[in-house]
Structure 1
Amino acid sequence: MANTIQDAMALAGLAPHKVLDIPDNGKLTRYRVTGDKAGSVNGWAVLHGGDHPAGAFGSWKTGESHTWQQAHARPSSAAALATQRRQRAELHQALKAEREAVQTAARAKAQKLWSRARPAFDSHPYLRKKRVRAYGIRQLRDMLLIPARDVNGRLNTLQFISADGTKRFLTGGQIAGCYFAIGKPVDRLLLAEGLATGSTLHQATGAAVAVCFSCGNLLAVALALRSKFPRLRLVLCADNDTETPGNPGVTKAREAAKAVGGYLAVPVLSRWAYPCPF
């Protein structure tokens, strides 16, 4: 176990770019993580001192968070335990406030970039390589911009796709439960992981598609859409990750389909199979 919170940060791959003094007053400190670009402050840390030092740290860029407690400082009395609980409550509130501030800033930046961008062309190298059209996305210089909106239509963040296919998200933006919509649903709505897959499905079927950006976001989007469209047929179109242990594409899609009473579609060779309604 790490002796200090700085040691724990280093072990987790979130060491600060330079020596960082973290005050032990429970106030959140933001910092530049080693390897992040100059000027960024994606890392955060908070430390409680006293007889039972404890804290937490993480990255708004990756979304990860970790807790730390000094090994020999475990609560030894009811009063110490109560203090620890209070510290955790304070930490929770501090992180909630900071997360809201970060996401609000990301929404403002996303809207600014989206307003500056122009409609994307089908001739963009990435779209041409994937043989799909530019359905409602925009382009800023050579970068494609894909909006991630919640079920109320609010733009929360952007995904950027470069000409060579490199993908990244606007730092700090909300992804969970957000998606990019292609078309308007009539009798069914297809959910897919990425832009290329979603665009291909729309071209092939004419059906509306919700691009969820990752298999880890399928469940959150499916639940949000089920709440918005209680009677609509939802089809979870899985990425068949046969080369990845546990096949997360199919596993996560099946989990989401079960949760919303939807259908699971799994690609088999060049075909799409609909093996089971849930």
Structure 2
Amino acid sequence: MNITCSANLRNYSLSVGVPLPEVLSVSGDIKRFHIKGEKRGSSNGWYVVNFARNVYRVVFGSWRTGETFKWNNSSDYRPSVKDLYLAKKRKAAREKQKRDKQISTALLADREYKRAQDASASHPYLIRKNISPVDVRQIDNRLVLPIYSKPDEIVNLQYIWPDGRKRFENGGRKKGCYGKVGKSVTDDAWLCEGYATAVSLHKETGLTVFWGIDAGNLESAAKNLKTFYP
């Protein structure tokens, strides 16, 4: 049996930084789920729902942080002020840790990009995509692409291996960030999803082309870009 996550439970899970899925399984078994905002494909969240004597009892938490939270829907149950205070404090600490990691990753990305060499036109990925190495560098057999949060500020790197595998620096920013092909920005520019498409559009039009990393990031990248290039 499944239930819809109640508004009170949903708000509580949001307040502690482990937002639960909208639909919960009432099986008494541990269920894993993706915590919004964490790495795509991860399932660090977990929950257990039990039902007895007309009361739903929920225990949930994050395997990544080791935190556990409890909730039930009895009429007299309310998370204590202390619980909410500690949850808010833990959430602030996690957010600070995330920001600190993003800063250190941005510094690493900048150093790595500076030590990278011009990419070879014979790189297998470029050949397979039938594109030239434009605004891309190389370290060993990996293509190295800078990811920006604003003009000239590298916050992350995308690496592309010869077989097409793509990876980013661990802990680096991604949401709202973008790559760029072309040196100057005129009144017209393009926005697309990935690097290979950006190079093809740039070759065809001669214009600057921004690429939003993946489809899920296009909207936030567009909003970010509009602040710099209205």
Superposed pair shares fold, TM > 0.5? yes
Partner deviation per Cα, 1:129-187 (whole Å, 9 max, x = no partner): 11111111110011000110111421111111001111111111001121111112212
Q: Which residue of 2 aligns with 1:21?
A: none
Where do 4+ consecutive residues of structure 1 move more than 2 Å? 1-4, 11-14, 52-59, 66-78, 80-85
1:209 paired with 2:209, answer yes
User: 1:1-278, aligned counterparts within 5 Å?
Assistant: 7=30, 11-12=32-33, 55-58=61-64, 69-70=69-70, 76-77=76-77, 80-183=79-182, 184-230=184-230
2:166 partner letter: K
Q: CA deviation at 1:198?
A: 0.7
The 8 Å contact of residues 119 and 137 in structure 1, kept in 2 or not, is answered as yes
Cα distance in 2 for residues equivalent to 1:145 and 1:131: 18
- What's the % identity of the aligned pairs? 26
Say which SS state the counterpart of residue 216 (structure 1) adopts.
Answer: helix
The 8 Å contact of residues 75 and 84 in structure 1, kept in 2 or not, is answered as no
Structure 1's 226 and 75: CA in aligned 2 closer, same or farther, altered over 3 A? farther
Say which SS state the counterpart of residue 136 (structure 1) adopts.
Answer: coil
Say which SS state the counterpart of residue 150 (structure 2) adopts.
Answer: coil
The number of aligned residues is 186
The 8 Å contact of residues 34 and 45 in structure 2, kept in 1 or not, is answered as no
1:212 partner letter: G
The 8 Å contact of residues 45 and 61 in structure 2, kept in 1 or not, is answered as no
Bigger relative contact order (CA 8 A; separation at least 6): 2
Q: CA deviation at 1:90?
A: 1.1
CA RMSD of aligned residues (A): 3.3
121-130 vs 107-116, greater mean Cα deviation: 107-116
Consecutive unaligned residues of structure 2, counting only runs of 5 or more, are: 1-25, 36-41, 47-57
Structure 1's 117 and 75: CA in aligned 2 closer, same or farther, altered over 3 A? farther
The 8 Å contact of residues 148 and 179 in structure 2, kept in 1 or not, is answered as yes
Cα distance in 1 for residues equivalent to 2:200 and 2:227: 26
106-115 vs 221-230, greater mean Cα deviation: 106-115
Structure 1's 185 and 77: CA in aligned 2 closer, same or farther, altered over 3 A? same
